[in-house]
Amino acid sequence: MFEQVDTIAAIATPAGRGGVGVIRISGTNVPVIAQSILHKLPKPRYAAYSQFLNAQGELIDQGIALYFPAPHSFTGEAVLELQGHGGAVVMDQLLAAVLNAGARLAQPGEFSERAFLNGKIDLTQAEAIADLIDSASVQAMRSALRSLQGDFSRKINKLLEQLILLRTYIEAGIDFVDEEIDLLADGQVLRQLTELQHTVKAIFNQAQQGFLLKEGVHIALVGEPNVGKSSLLNCLAGRETAIVTPIAGTTRDIVRDQIQLDGMPLHIIDTAGLRDTDDIVEQEGIRRTKLALQAVDLVILLLDDRYADDQATPELLASIPSKPLIIRNKIDLSGHEAGISPQGMVYISAKTGAGVEDLKQTLRERLGLQTQTEGTFIARRRHLDALTRTLTALQNAMSYIHSYQNELLAEELRLAQQALSEITGEFTPDDLLGQIFSTFCIGK
Ligand code: GDP
Ligand code: ZN
């Protein structure tokens, strides 16, 4: 037989033991596979209690079979779901029988990819499925759900419509008018272009919030031993956070990954101070710390408020790339008032919790996190990149209006449309698609 086996199957539930395990099958061979395993094709969309049999007719398991004929399924193809008992051996046996009956093992993300290729969902929705499953906070989960429901795509599509209208208008002018038309004199074009830029900026800001929720920010917490770094982290982590496990890096740095601020993950490197040292191991630690400091979004310098500022050695200050957030701790001992000084220093006690709310507020401001996350949708780096390219193209288009270069203007608008279309996947190179779906788990 030369017919290509395009039917895919995978265990959709997590590996290991569970009450129920689900095998998902999608493709044209589904009816054949159903006949082989169930000895019948279940009534569409009805839970059919059934025995699951192998090719020799031996019983593997019994459970629920669900059949969704094409195109009314998640992938848009015929889909069969077999819900059996969630044991590793049972699931493996059942999967083997399904593969034997005419399916091949699905690649990671292949079900979602088929759903996308068959027009069931767009690319941002496919990504939102993965992000929903991976979400680490309620806020991230809600944002992923909003993307999954199409909030993000709708905004992009509306923008695309406006952009296409403008392009049509301008290109008609270029093609059918003999002499160059003066688009600058035509206030309409300028106004629409300005409006488009505003909308792209607004969407970018929302997407950036979603990106922060998903990816979090990287913070280095720097200070001499005993100033209270660990105490501050525990204080910020609060009760709802799992016990932080130190991941061994060097002897001098510890990464704690469990802290969240308004649902945004804070990836914090806790480092010791940077002193001059002859110790080779310590020097290596310092070298790594300095490298790490270059890569973070924010450096927090923690000082003991009982002592003067010179706790931060010039060596240390010199290795901090951007303006650090300075926190003065232990005000319960120094007697200083809690809160933010006019210079932006934050006075706290990690022991009593005084000033910690002010600190959180300062962090939100410094990290560009809006407290109001309603309307935020989950976003990825590639979405932000595409929006940035859209904005650049629109800005270029604007400058070409002023220099009366209508052909170049039209070209920039085409580029803007192309960048926007990449977001929803309407115009996305195949290798990028492959890259996106390959990061999904198998069975998704
Ligand atoms: P690290 O070495 O910078 O991580 O400092 P630790 O968090 O381990 O704290 C060193 C010591 O200072 C511990 O005994 C803490 O209980 C204490 N400490 C930390 N913060 C405060 C504070 O705000 N007030 C008081 N009184 N003690 C604190
Ligand atoms: Zn510590």
Is the domain of 55 the same as that of 143?
Answer: no
Domain that holds residue 81: 8-122
CA dihedral 159, 164, 166, 168 (to 10 degrees): -170
Query: Which atom of ligand 1 is least distant from the CA of 331?
Result: 23
> Among the ranges 94-98, 260-264, 318-322, 397-401, which has the highest mean pLDDT value?
94-98
In a domain, 55, yes or no: yes
Calculate mean pLDDT across residues 135-144: 86
Is the domain of 285 the same as that of 326?
Answer: yes
- Per-residue pLDDT of 335-364, as tens digits, reads 999 999 998 999 999 999 999 999 999 999
pLDDT (0 to 100) of residue 253: 44
pLDDT (0 to 100) of residue 175: 67
Closest C-alpha to ligand 1, atom 15: 228
3-class state of residue 281 by DSSP: helix
In a domain, 91, yes or no: yes
Helices (H) and strands (E) in the chain, counts: 15, 14
Calculate mean pLDDT across residues 298-318: 81
Is the domain of 338 the same as that of 235?
Answer: yes
Does any ligand 1 atom lie closer than 6 A to the CB of residue 230? yes
Is the domain of 339 the same as that of 387?
Answer: no
Does any ligand 1 atom lie closer than 6 A to the CB of residue 246? no
Does any ligand 1 atom lie closer than 6 A to the CB of residue 225? yes
Asked whether the predicted pLDDT for residue 384 surpasses 90, the reply is: yes
Does any ligand 1 atom lie closer than 6 A to the CB of residue 330? yes
Is the domain of 115 the same as that of 221?
Answer: no
Bridge partners for 8 per DSSP? 26, 104
Q: What are phi and psi of 214, to 5 degrees?
A: -80, -50
pLDDT (0 to 100) of residue 55: 93
Q: Which two tokens stand for residue 67?
A: 């059949």
Instruction: Report the relative pairing of strands 346-347 and 339-340 from DSSP bridges.
Output: antiparallel
> Measured in angstroms, how far is the CA atom of residue 234 from the centroid of ligand 2?
10
Ligand (nearest to CA of 225): 1
In a domain, 438, yes or no: no
Calculate mean pLDDT across residues 178-200: 82
> Measured in angstroms, how far is the CA atom of residue 287 from the centroid of ligand 1?
26
**pLDDT tier, 72 (very low <50, low <70, confident <90, very high otherwise):** very high
Closest C-alpha to ligand 1, atom 11: 226
Q: Measured between alpha carbons, how far is 328 from 228 in angstroms, rounded to an integer?
A: 10
In a domain, 441, yes or no: no
Calculate mean pLDDT across residues 299-314: 82
Is the domain of 360 the same as that of 242?
Answer: yes
> Measured in angstroms, how far is the CA atom of residue 221 from the centroid of ligand 2?
10
In a domain, 225, yes or no: yes
Q: What are phi and psi of 20, to 5 degrees?
A: -130, 140
> Measured in angstroms, how far is the CA atom of residue 230 from the centroid of ligand 2?
4
Does any ligand 1 atom lie closer than 6 A to the CB of residue 350? yes
In a domain, 3, yes or no: no
CB of 221 within 8 A of CB of 231?
no
Q: Measured between alpha carbons, how far is 393 from 391 in angstroms, rounded to an integer?
A: 5
Tell me if 187 is assigned to a ligand binding site. Answer: no
Is the domain of 141 the same as that of 259?
Answer: no
Asked whether the predicted pLDDT for residue 248 surpasses 50, the reply is: no
Geometric angle at alpha carbon 322, from 380 and 287, rounded to 5° = 95
pTM for this prediction: 0.76
- The overall average pLDDT reported for the chain is 85
Q: 49 Cβ partners below 8 Å, 6+ apart?
A: 62, 63, 64
Is the domain of 270 the same as that of 362?
Answer: yes
> Measured in angstroms, how far is the CA atom of residue 98 from the centroid of ligand 1?
59
Is the domain of 182 the same as that of 231?
Answer: no
Q: Which two tokens stand for residue 48?
A: 């059919």
Calculate mean pLDDT across residues 258-266: 82
Here the CATH number for the domain that contains residue 405 is 1.20.120.430
Closest C-alpha to ligand 1, atom 22: 330
Query: Which atom of ligand 1 is least distant from the CA of 225?
Result: 2
pLDDT (0 to 100) of residue 403: 82
Query: Which atom of ligand 1 is least distant from the CA of 224?
Result: 3
Asked whether the predicted pLDDT for residue 177 surpasses 70, the reply is: no
In a domain, 85, yes or no: yes
Query: Which of 97, 122, 147 is at the close of a domain?
Result: 122
Does any ligand 1 atom lie closer than 6 A to the CB of residue 85? no
> Measured in angstroms, how far is the CA atom of residue 130 from the centroid of ligand 2?
35
Does any ligand 1 atom lie closer than 6 A to the CB of residue 349? yes
Is the domain of 83 the same as that of 41?
Answer: yes
Calculate mean pLDDT across residues 240-263: 52
Does any ligand 1 atom lie closer than 6 A to the CB of residue 355? no
Query: Which of 75, 91, 122 is at the close of a domain?
Result: 122
Q: Measured between alpha carbons, how far is 243 from 339 in angstroms, rounded to an integer?
A: 28
Is the domain of 236 the same as that of 102?
Answer: no
Is the domain of 355 the same as that of 241?
Answer: yes
pLDDT (0 to 100) of residue 135: 86
> Measured in angstroms, how far is the CA atom of residue 278 from the centroid of ligand 2?
22
How many domains, in total, are found in the chain?
A: 3
Tell me if 7 is assigned to a ligand binding site. Answer: no
**pLDDT tier, 313 (very low <50, low <70, confident <90, very high otherwise):** low
In a domain, 374, yes or no: no
Closest C-alpha to ligand 1, atom 19: 228
CA dihedral 419, 423, 429, 434 (to 10 degrees): 150
